[in-house]
Chains A and B, each alone.
Chain A
Amino acid sequence: MMACLDRHRVSALLQNARLAGVLALVLMMLVMTGCASTPRLAESTQRDLPRQTLLEDVPFHGQRDYQCGPASLAMVLNASGVPVTVDTLIPQVFLPGREGSVQPEMLGTVRRQGRIPFRIAGNLDAVLTEIDAGHPVVVMQNLSLPAWPVWHYAVAIGFDRAEKTLTLHSGMEPARLESFKRFDATWARSERWAFVALPPGELPATGNGQSTLDAIADFERAQGARASLPAWEALVKRHPGLAMGHFALGNARHAAGDAAGALDAFTDAVQAAPDLAAAWLNLGLLHRERGETDEAREAFERAAALPGPWQKQAKEALADPTTRT
């Protein structure tokens, strides 16, 4: 579009370009300073959190070359009780072609190590709340400007609200102090990406029931229902109204061989959400497995009455001679 200009327009353009350049520079400075104000904490955070906290037992691993990803993972995994080394993690997460580690694989590697990665909300309040709950937070920062990015993973382990500083195990530096302002400016460039890595059974201090459920379900896909059983137990305890949580707990208990417990969980699921057809269906299948034909038929009837992807299977189960007797 700009390739074929005639001479008159070029001279006019040169004059305009100088003006435009000055304007662009001013605008850039404005935008940058606008982004870099010290983040304000919510009032609930100010009220509920202590003035300062430091998680002193999070070990530090200095990064070598480009390996802040594996180093950060080793720190949070060690802190949650997995004795894994940076050298073990490098072939699991490092991408030689990119000379770095990408976010999805950071989360995947946590799952491989038997811990559940929970993404947390992109605000300083969530980071401080997790630290206060004893959970070190892996953050992604762009230490440089968007045009020449220096992507970096670090582990936030402490804060001081009065000094407005965050303490991070970062790069070669253990317990580096970073002002809220500088941290937030560099963190904002990764769209404030952060997560905590917790053993099954422990839940993040922030986040709603649905996001927690999704994180556990992703873990279960990789590690199986038995491994995630304690996580589901913890989820329904925290969010008793979440029908899918009871449903998932039922499946995990069933996989662990606890049929009676599974029955209880599916019953809780249909009590929390009477329109959860899959839970009625599983309730019926489980009753049928135990020879409780009347209860099975009743559950199948409820499932068959609900339109959706499970209706066909429920009707087939009703027609099955073992259900009829």
Chain B
Amino acid sequence: MMKKICRYLSPLLIAALVLGSLPVAAAPASPGSDLITTQDVLTAERSQGDRERISAVLARDDVQEQLVAQGVDPAEVEARVAALSDAEAAQMADQLEQLPAGASVVGALFAVFVILLVTDILGLTNVFPFTR
């Protein structure tokens, strides 16, 4: 009885193990795995290497947290940060609050209104479409 089960089971087990190990066997053979990458060389050219790279990774984590705090959908955050270059991620991590955010709405204060009206007419600003 036991022998019979084994006879059927062992080919199945062998097949399962072989199939399971295929991706691992295929991985080292896939091209691009062992050459020096372009990113490696550019990073090495620009910085001291490891330390800068670690801080770049930390910057990305930091930006992810900041984006969530700014009300971005957590499901979107990872893809948004992944699309940034190292320099952009560092810039976002350091000064997100100071970065200008394109929005084109003016906080309406009367004094500001008058000043901007004058500068609009002078052709220095472009807040009110009716001045043109």
A251 to B104, CA, bound (A): 43
Known contacts A96-B70, A151-B104; A36/B122 CB under 8 A: yes
Are B100 and A285 closer than 8 Å at their CB atoms? no
Are B106 and A144 closer than 8 Å at their CB atoms? yes
A248 to B35, CA, bound (A): 11
A289 to B35, CA, bound (A): 10
Chain B contact-residue range equals 35 or more
Contacting A at CB under 8 A, from B26-48, are 31-32, 34-42, 44
Q: Closest B residue to A172 by CB, please name it.
A: B129
Are B127 and A102 closer than 8 Å at their CB atoms? no
**Main SS class of interface, A:** helix
Known contacts A185-B123, A254-B31, A309-B44; A102/B104 CB under 8 A: no
Q: Which of B76, B104, B105 has the most CB of A within 10 A?
A: B104
Are B101 and A151 closer than 8 Å at their CB atoms? yes
B107 CB within 8 Å of chain A: yes
A106 to B92, CA, bound (A): 12
Are A112 and B83 closer than 8 Å at their CB atoms? yes
Q: Closest A residue to B29 by CB, please name it.
A: A289
Question: What are 12 A-B pairs with beta-carbon distances under 8 A?
Answer: A97-B69, A100-B103, A101-B102, A101-B103, A102-B101, A106-B102, A140-B100, A143-B126, A221-B85, A251-B38, A289-B34, A313-B36
What residues of chain A have their CB less than 8 Å away from a CB belonging to chain B? Answer: 32-33, 35-36, 63, 66, 68-69, 72, 91-93, 95-109, 111-112, 140-145, 148-153, 171, 173, 178-179, 181-182, 185-186, 190, 214, 217-218, 220-222, 225, 244, 247-248, 251-252, 254-257, 259, 278, 281-282, 285-286, 289, 308-310, 313
With contacts A105-B80, A108-B80, A151-B103 known, what are 16 further pairs, Cβ within 8 A? A68-B104, A91-B72, A99-B101, A143-B126, A173-B129, A185-B125, A214-B42, A217-B39, A220-B38, A225-B38, A244-B38, A251-B38, A255-B32, A282-B36, A310-B36, A313-B36
